[in-house]
Amino acid sequence: MSAPASTPAPGETSLAALLSTLKLSLDPRTFVFVTLPPSELPPTSSLFVQMSFQEAEGLTIITTQESAASHGLEYTFLSKMITLNIHSSLEAVGFMAAISAQLTKHNIGANPVSGYFHDHCFVPLGKEEEAMKVLLELAEEAKMKPSHQS
């Protein structure tokens, strides 16, 4: 069954291609995580929502620190968002594992999330430059490997 013509291409699945063509962008805003109980709705439509996810315990919202504060919301995990600028498939195997493993080697925590087109890592505020350097090194290493390896 093929997808309708308006559906974008599914993205890259090759781990070698994903890593060797990886480009990064760092969002200058500071992001935070907010949780609201299941019965509570977000305060208003003016709350900036980068991403939300409904769990049994409540609604998790990733927003900017500025937006959370202006709405009087309690928040946690001040972070920066690094976008992995390669259109990865939602079915790609090992991409986020490789990214997480590389950050783990350098003691950098990350909260990875995936959108349709790109993956993103929220890294602790103050660790973003080191995380960018580490991930760019991973991409450079992948470029040096013969293309038949994954």
Mind spelling out the 3-state secondary structure of 130-143?
A: HHHHHHHHHHHHHH
Residue 1: predicted pLDDT: 53
Residue 15: predicted pLDDT: 85
**For residue 101, is pLDDT > 70?**
yes
Identify the three-state secondary structure at position 82. strand
Identify the three-state secondary structure at position 72. coil
Nearest to 63 by CA among 74, 23, 54: 74
DSSP state of 88: B
Q: What is the pLDDT of residues 62-94, one digit of tens each?
A: 999 999 999 999 999 999 999 999 899 888 889
The length of the chain is 150
Pick the CATH number of 15-144 from 3.40.50.920, 3.30.2130.10, 2.60.40.640, 3.10.180.10: 3.30.2130.10
**For residue 47, is pLDDT > 80?**
yes
Question: How many CB atoms are closer than 10 A to CB 112?
Answer: 17
pLDDT band at 2 (very low <50, low <70, confident <90, very high): low
Average pLDDT of the chain is 90
